Amino acid sequence: MMLAAEQPTAEEIDAFVIVNRKFLSDEAEETFRNMDGLDQKHVIAEGSLSNCKDPVAIIKSRARGGFLKAHIDWMHSHRDSSHEDVLDSYIEANVDWMTEEAEELLRSLSFNHLWKVIDFGSLQNCRDPAAIIRIRLKDVLRGKAGKSGKGKSSTGKGVQGRAVLHQAQTDGMDSLPSEDPAESSKGAQGGKAKGAKGAKGTKGAKDRPKDDIHEKALEEGRSLYCLGLPPLWSAKQIQDFFQHQGEVEGVYLQSMGKGKNTRGASVDFTTAEGARNAAMVCDRLEVYHKEEKFTLGCSIRHKGPAGQKFIFPARGEVDFKQAQAEARSVYLSKIPAHISEQQIREMAEEHGEVEAIHMLPSNGFSLACFITMVSPGEAAFMIRALNDAQAFGTIVSASYPIEKNEKRKKKHPEEEIFQWYVLEIKNFPHWTVTDDIKVTISTFGNAPNRVRIIHYDPDPAQSVAKAYFRYEEDQDVALKALAGYEFTPGYALQVMTRPRTAGTGQALAHPSPQPQPPTFHSLTFGQVGLSTPATVPATVPPRFPRPALQDAQLPAAFPRH
């Protein structure tokens, strides 16, 4: 018997549910939580439910198997015990359900019959143990084997001791009737037919995998990716949570690694509008579960539409250049030299799904690596969380990968000489790529010659991109069209012009006259006045007169006083 102290705690039960949340249905979780503590211990001891097609059946089977194993171990440990020791141990193990009548009935049995009655298992939760013992005794007299004798003859040599075997032979147990061969054959045929039917059903299920449905939702922009979900939430709970924004077609839970206290999931809606509504309403939404606060991060996942080049390559076939161009790569440095790649992966998985990790050679004091995430949003969240943060007992640094020194790259002569007209663009979501901005600008006029995303940030107001135009007319058209344009629902672009710049990125002086600030200095104690220098040094260019711009519309560089 398992003692109460050995039964699983509430924390162990929750931990098992969290680890297996991806495979546990609501019915399976309810079945597991309503089980007796001993059965729960047997289920947990068997490990993960990975890839279980019928978790309810597996949980029940584990409980029965664990109970049977404990019973066989008990029988094995008492096979050489005396009659009195076996009887006393069995009564003590079942004292909570034993009655005087049942105890007297057990004491009246011979050792052979007592052993076989006990072999049917404990009296746990029996309302009338005396009646159960009588039924088991009848089964013994009919030749029916107990739990440790299943699959063997009724005279089996499994866990029975030498004294039991001797007594069985003395009582003539070999003459007891066995199973009807016809029934056995019928059962075998039925099992074969059932197995064939099950195999056929499994093959049919593979004809249309769930991945195809999810891929279609990605292509149509109906898939919402949500991070920061409570780990105990089931697929049904997540579906009910997002049902207020639109009809949910399916929920795909993300695997949860060690040390993580949140979970990610893909939620497919029946319409793209429902997915957009959920992204706008639930992004950065705070939810509470068991008095713990969780902050959700929601975004729309795309695959394949025009203007979106973000793809999901197969694991092990990572294109690092493409991942860097899509802002999915993170450069993590200042890692202690004794830290392993697995430890880095476990830490990175707290911020999203890791696609690949490329370790760089150690300098003897610290390590650095490139971490490729599945989406730009996860990379942005990781950088924001880990840059100058405490990890592995030190302060680590996280940033986007930066190309090596410019002298190692041969520039195009035109990029060094030509002065581009530059637009600075802000307030776009962190999953945006350069092609998205190019396609948006091209819908209103000529596409820019180049677009660079200078900074990604989960806060859209902090994300910065620059578009480079050859002609000022194209810049003006884009400026008028993009100012306040809703790039994605809820994200109105902020656009402003910047000084012309060469391919090296160094801005030239603005050709228009610039207003100059006045110079302040003290005339007397407590008195401040304005003055203009009488002479201008040769190294300082003379000031331009302030233009009269009272009625004209001023750009951002000309504040109106």
Residue 319: the pLDDT is: 67
Instruction: Look at residue 269 in the predicted model and tell me its pLDDT.
Output: 92
- What is the per-residue pLDDT for 369? 92
- Residue 36 reports pLDDT greater than 80: no
Regarding pTM above 0.85, the answer is no
* pLDDT tens digit sequence for 208-228: 455 678 888 888 888 888 888
Q: What is the pLDDT of residue 415?
A: 52
523 pLDDT higher than 50: no
207-210 contacts: CB < 8 A, separation 24 or more? 210/250, 210/252
What pLDDT, on a 0 to 100 scale, did the predictor assign at position 366? 83
CATH 3.30.70.330 correct for 406-501:
yes
263 confidence band (pLDDT: 50, 70, 90)? confident
pLDDT of 545 reads 46
Q: At what angle do helices 26-33 and 55-77 cross, to 10 degrees?
A: 30
pLDDT tens per residue across span 139-174: 888 888 766 654 333 333 433 443 443 344 334 333
Q: Which stretch, 152-166, 241-255, 397-411, has highest mean pLDDT?
A: 241-255
Q: What are phi and psi of 465, to 5 degrees?
A: -135, 155
In this predicted structure, the answer to whether residue 21 has a pLDDT above a threshold of 60 is yes
The 10s digit of each residue's pLDDT in 301-349 is 766 443 334 444 433 445 677 787 778 889 999 888 888 899 999 999 8
Q: Residue 212 is encoded by which pair of tokens?
A: 């195809």
CATH class of 320-398: alpha beta
Strands 223-229 and 297-301: antiparallel
Q: Dig out the tokens for 161 from the structure.
A: 């001791």
Q: List where CATH 3.30.70.330 sits in the chain.
A: 211-301, 320-398, 406-501
pLDDT tens-digit readout, 340-388: 899 999 999 888 888 888 888 877 678 899 999 888 888 888 888 888 8
Angle at alpha carbon of residue 559, lines to 555 and 561, rounded to 5°: 140
pLDDT tops 50 at residue 521: no
Residue 104 sits at the vertex; the CA angle it makes with 98 and 107, to the nearest 5 degrees, is: 105
DSSP string, 462-479: G-EEEEEESSHHHHHHHH
The per-residue DSSP string of 23-36 comes to: T--HHHHHHHHTS-
Is 80 exceeded by the pLDDT of residue 491?
Answer: yes
- Based on its alpha-carbon atoms, the radius of gyration of the chain, rounded to whole angstroms, reads 37
Q: Is 151 left (phi over 0), alpha (psi -120 to 50) or beta?
A: left
The mean of the pLDDT values for the chain is 71
Strand partners, 24: none
**CA separation for the pair 560, 553 (Å, rounded):** 10
CA 376, 297, 263: angle at the middle one, nearest 5? 95
- Could you tell me which of 488, 20, 536, 86 has the C-alpha nearest to residue 263? 20
CATH architecture of 211-301: 2-Layer Sandwich (3.30)
What is the model's pLDDT at position 306? 39
Strands 263-269 and 248-253 turn out to be antiparallel
Kindly give the residue spans of alpha helices, DSSP state H, lying in 367-463: 376-386, 413-417, 434-442
Give DSSP secondary structure letters for 204-248.
HHHTS-HHHHHHHHHHTT-EEEEEEE-TT--HHHHHHHHTTTS-E
> Does 186 have pLDDT greater than 60?
no
Average confidence (pLDDT) over 244-273:
83
